[in-house]
Structure 1
Amino acid sequence: MTHIHLVPSLLIRWMSDPGITRYDLSSLRVLQSGGQRLQPEVRDRAGQLIPTAAVQENFGMAEGLLMFVRLDDPEEVRRQTCGRPVCPDDEIRLVDEDGTDVPEGGVGELCVRGPYTLRGYFRAPEHNARASTSDGFYRSGDLMRRHPSGNYVGEGRQKDLITRGGEKISAEEIENLILAHADVDNAACVPVPDEVLGERMCACVLLRRGARLDLPELVVFLLGFEIAKHKLPEQLAVFDELPLSPIGKVSRKDLVDRLTARQGAA
């Protein structure tokens, strides 16, 4: 049995390589992804490309908590979630900005306490006061919601929220919808400064070979999902490649720098 572990951005690049069809991948049994949310559309494409492989998402942090989708979870649960803790003694809370537990099914910051999750950093009391709750839950900065199955769904990072006129928009939510477009290979949404609203959203996309896409077409596509209009991207930037961090995630900081340089040269 062969296992491969890839972050989603590398998986997308791998699947988009036309040369992949020249290889016999039938020995691949588990395709495991972590590091950022594996969008359902990407998971579907991987399953179609390599039907012998079960696509399994996981979530983990250097500070402790590990979650896995179980291979015997129902297909729709495997498609939508990043799993549940590996240890029954892991305690999880999802809280709002005030530290109050969110209602069942609501999105909140993931806070965790458990036997292998740290209780604080060495000789860093000020940081620990911000990073942990008074009762010892580590504040991860990750946004999640609890799926009816008991598994969890990643909803991005707090720092990746775009604040438009006081409204907070999850970049990852919109990225997931954009990835459903047939001409899009990868996408990242980043904020651009605005004097009136504070920030507006720019959708940065990597298109499939030979494809074309403009902003009005993208907006019409997104409106098909009946999302609130304030969540629509107001700029579109097409790139030949999206910058990646050393571990293979899309680097939003480098992407903002490239976008700023491109707009400055225009």
Structure 2
Amino acid sequence: MNLIHVIILAIIEGLTEFLPVSSTGHMIIASSAMGIANDPFVKLFTIAIQLGAILSVIVLYYKRFFRSVNFYIKLIVAFIPAAIFGLLLAKRIDALLESALTVGITLFVGGIILLFVDKWFNNPRVEKEEQISLPTALKIGFFQCIAMIPGVSRSAATIVGGMSQKLSRTAAAEFSFFLAVPTMFAATAKKLYDFYKEGHKFTGEEIKLLAVGNVIAFIVAMLAIKTFITFLEKKGFRLFGFYRILVGGIIIVIYLTGHNLEVI
């Protein structure tokens, strides 16, 4: 893995982590295309640079993180389902992460769903995070579990989950951002633990690459979040739906024409 790979993957992470298009799916495809997907450090890198994206949420919404204890209780309640299912299904999830075809299918199907989301959930009653109840937070947490399938998109699953519970598009998107903080931090910590448990150690160069990747992911994610909220308020999800259908369809066609898209 070199600096060019780092820049490309970090930009992809920053752009897609909070958009309903699946950052994991995009990085699986990108790392496969660059021929570096087999490297254990690359697999760790694609998870670890989420820390930069997490920091962008904390910086942009720092006032929310110092407002009340109830805010953190909601995040914990919403995080619990993913924590439980993540531990129980860890091996199966890792296997799915190695399939580009899975990404193609879930991107395509998810894109079709996004075409209709704005019509399905067009009568919101919850406009602010403070109005979200604990049962609602838990339900959104279960929606997040669907995103353990690569290509689904954690952002898409939690935003759609929020809208199904009468949250406005903006309220659902912002709660999705907040929920990303404990979820992505836990995923990164787990990946780091597994990396060391398997006997791997960071070289000085790898530490530098991780630092650069996180800085780039942070900057790009800051811009992406601001742009996404503005776009979402005005246009909704249809454009993201068309994008997912296009990308997913291309991946599926490539696979069906006999090309091997498997990472391993």
TM range (shorter): under 0.3
Larger-Rg structure: 1
Normalization by structure 1: what TM-score?
0.26
Question: Which one has a larger percent strand, Structure 1 or Structure 2?
Answer: 1
By relative contact order (CA 8 Å, sep 6+), the higher-ranking structure is 2
Normalization by structure 2: what TM-score?
0.26
Question: Which one has a larger percent helix, Structure 1 or Structure 2?
Answer: 2
